Amino acid sequence: MRRSLVTSAVAALVLAAPATAGLPRAGALVPGRSLGGVRLGEPSRAVRAALGDFYGRCRGCRRATWYFTYRPFGRQGLAVEFEGGRVSGVYTLWRPAGWHAPDELRFGSSPLAVHTLTHATRTVACDGYEALVHDTAEARTAYYLYAGRLWGFGLFRRGAAPCR
């Protein structure tokens, strides 16, 4: 009896471990702090522990960049950039369903709603889209607009260019 309880406990831990790591289905932006649970400055091993080993690597990027998507070669997900083995930037890929910011700010919101709810102070023109940015002492939070609607989120070191 005791052996079967131990075996069951070990099996439960082994089966539960993969379920804890992975791209969140409804990721959240915490302005100036984290996106999808990934924090600026954390080491790459912490990102792997949180999001798993299912990612692609960008071959033409200036910084080491990992792409976490829901399906192989899918468009929706999260990109994580590294400098010196630590997270220097993180941003959504396309519009992953269910992702949100505080105050129920969701993809599809108008620029006025983004400005009102986030206090974004600057607009940066990117190639084909815009980034509304809000800076704190430690970080730059970006709210990406495409075709006049909120399309994505980004979090970078203070002063970093938000265009990707």
CA distance 61 to 64: 7
Strand, coil or helix: 140: strand
Inside any domain, residue 99: yes
Q: Write out the E strands in the chain.
A: 29-30, 34-35, 38-39, 56-57, 64-69, 77-83, 86-93, 100-101, 105-106, 122-125, 130-135, 139-146, 149-157
* 4: pLDDT strictly greater than 70: no
Task: Say what the pLDDT of residue 3 is.
Answer: 44
* 5: pLDDT strictly greater than 80: no
Give percent of the chain with pLDDT exceeding 70: 88
Reported as a pLDDT band with limits 50, 70 and 90, residue 121 is confident
* 15: pLDDT strictly greater than 80: no
Inside any domain, residue 15: no
Q: C-alpha 156: how far from its chain's center?
A: 11
Inside any domain, residue 107: yes
Q: How many domains is the chain built from?
A: 1
Inside any domain, residue 61: yes
Inside any domain, residue 141: yes
* 8: pLDDT strictly greater than 70: no
* 19: pLDDT strictly greater than 60: no
Inside any domain, residue 18: no
Inside any domain, residue 17: no
Q: CATH code at 96?
A: 3.40.33.10
Task: Say what the pLDDT of residue 50 is.
Answer: 96
Task: Say what the pLDDT of residue 20 is.
Answer: 59
Task: Say what the pLDDT of residue 148 is.
Answer: 95
Mean confidence (pLDDT) of the chain: 88
Residue-number span of the structural domain to which 145 is assigned: 24-157
Give percent of the chain with pLDDT exceeding 90: 84
At residue 11, φ and ψ (nearest 5 deg) are -60, -40
pTM: 0.85
pLDDT tens, residue by residue, 58-94: 999 999 999 999 998 899 999 999 999 999 999 999 9
